[in-house]
Amino acid sequence: MAEEETQQRTVTIDGTEYKIDEMSENARQQLINLRVADQEIARLNRQLAITRTARQAYARALQGELGKSQ
Residue 68: per-residue pLDDT: 83
Residue 70: per-residue pLDDT: 63
- Summarize pLDDT for 6-19 with one digit per residue, the tens: 457 999 999 999 99
Asked if residue 44 belongs to a domain, the reply is yes
Asked if residue 64 belongs to a domain, the reply is yes
C-alpha distances in Å from residue 26, one per residue of 1, 38, 50, 56, 66: 29, 18, 36, 45, 58
Phi/psi for 58 (5° steps) reads -65, -40
Asked if residue 53 belongs to a domain, the reply is yes
Q: Domain tally for the chain?
A: 1
3 state DSSP class of 9: coil
Asked if residue 32 belongs to a domain, the reply is yes
Residue 42: per-residue pLDDT: 98
Asked if residue 36 belongs to a domain, the reply is yes
Asked if residue 37 belongs to a domain, the reply is yes
Asked if residue 2 belongs to a domain, the reply is no
Residue 49: per-residue pLDDT: 98
Range of the domain at 41: 24-68
Write out residues in the chain with pLDDT < 70, as ranges: 1-7, 69-70
By the 8 A CB rule, do 48 and 39 touch?
Answer: no
Asked if residue 4 belongs to a domain, the reply is no
